[in-house]
Amino acid sequence: MSVYSLWGSLEIGLIFGLVALGVLISFRVLNFPDLTVDGSFPLGGAAAAILIHHGYDPFVATGIGTLAAGFAGVITGWLNVRLKIMDLLASILMMIALYSINLRVMDAPNVPLITESTVFTVLQPAGLHDYVARPLILLVLVVVVKLALDWFFATQVGLAMRSTGSNPRMARSQGIRTGNMVLLGMGISNALCGLAGALFAQSQGGADISMGIGTIVIGLAAVIIGESILPSRRLAITTLAVVIGAVLYRFFVALALNADFVGLKAQDLNLVTAVLVTVALVIPLIKQRLRRKRVE
């Protein structure tokens, strides 16, 4: 595996680390199975790409992409809280609606950004290769987002949101307006996914309508890998764990891409990735069994 491909895995892994943080909020904190992600990730990318294409500042474009995706999440929450549509169904409705909306936003299935200036080209420090600079820029951003989330979940509102997810009835009896908490949480969750989409489009040369396919699966895989590697009841550790999980997932894909020496072919990629992730998930279990044996 080349250094270049490792930096690439880190870059894409960190972008999906933002998705993992978003998925952590919806699935774990709020206990809301949210598939909007498959639409909000490309929405962030689409909005950012089309704005940059029309000459807007890449930072403004990224910000608007993030807000748009957050708004989409709020609507999913609203469908569930106010219109009483089942959570999973509400998110599926939003996801399929976003497919059309994204096509409208881009006015085409594909908006290239190969020759435009992006947040990465603007922040590019002199004397550093771009393939090293991008992951470092993302690392700083992801750390900032992680710390901001840790801070938020320790505030009054953050704690109210966590109690909404773990025991809504008790939360309501304490005077927490759980409906609003769901809307806020879904907004933050999808805003993070939209931010990831906006950055992904800018690092990969453009937004494409198909860029959202499977985002939720990768986000969830990252959350589960992270939780099994760094199991903890402290949210500050879990936010770190899911980002590590997202990066690890990308390393597994890079590893699978280099598996040709054992006679594996291009079409085996997804299978190899699945096997590697399974192994990563089973290791803690094996460790536990070994420890138990030693005790006996």
Partner 1 sequence: MILHSALRSLVGTVAVVGALAAVPAQAQSVAVTSIVEHPALDAVKDGVHEALATAGYTEAKGLKWQFQTAQGNNAIAAQIARKFVGDKPDVIVAIATPTSQAVVAATKTIPVVFSAVTDPVAAQLVPGTGPSGINVTGVSDALPLQKQIDLIRKVVPNAKKIGMVYNPGEANSVVVVKQLRELLPKAGLTLVEATAPRTVDVGAAARSLVGKVDAIYTNTDNNVVSAYEALVKVGEAAKIPLIAADTDSVKRGAIAALGVNYHDLGVQTGQLVVKILKGAKPGDLPWETSSKLELYVNPGAAARQGVTLPDSLIKSATKVVK
**Among the listed residues 16, 27, 32, 78, the single contact to partner 1 using CB under 8 A:** 16
In whole angstroms, give the CA distance from residue 133 to residue 61: 20
- The reply to whether 1 sits near partner 1 by the rule CB under 8 A is yes
- The reply to whether 260 sits near partner 1 by the rule CB under 8 A is yes
Could you tell me how far CA 67 lies from the centroid of its own chain?
15
In the complex with partner 1, the residue whose CB is nearer, 57 or 130, is 130
**Among the listed residues 181, 211, 222, 235, the single contact to partner 1 using CB under 8 A:** 211
Q: Give min distance, CB of 151 to partner 1, in A.
A: 29
- The reply to whether 274 sits near partner 1 by the rule CB under 8 A is no
In whole angstroms, give the CA distance from residue 75 to residue 207: 23
Task: Annotate 80-141 with DSSP letters as a single string.
Answer: HHTS---HHHHHHHHHHHHHHHHHHHHTSSEEE-SSS--HHHHH--TTS-HHHHHHHHHHHH
Q: Which residue has the tokens 């990629």?
A: 269
Tokens coding 155: 């505030």
Q: Give min distance, CB of 64 to partner 1, in A.
A: 21
In whole angstroms, give the CA distance from residue 86 to residue 80: 6
- The reply to whether 276 sits near partner 1 by the rule CB under 8 A is no
In whole angstroms, give the CA distance from residue 130 to residue 121: 8
Stretch that binds partner 1, among 57-65, 82-90, 204-212, 283-291 (CB under 8 A): 204-212
Among 81, 83, 99, smallest CA distance to 36 is for: 99
- The reply to whether 125 sits near partner 1 by the rule CB under 8 A is no
Q: Give min distance, CB of 72 to partner 1, in A.
A: 18
**Among the listed residues 163, 189, 203, 239, the single contact to partner 1 using CB under 8 A:** 203
**Among the listed residues 37, 113, 184, 192, the single contact to partner 1 using CB under 8 A:** 113
- The reply to whether 252 sits near partner 1 by the rule CB under 8 A is no
Q: Residues interacting with partner 1, by CB under 8 A?
A: 1-9, 11-12, 16, 99-100, 103, 108-110, 112-115, 131, 200, 203-206, 208-211, 213-214, 218, 250, 253-254, 257-258, 260, 266-267, 269-270
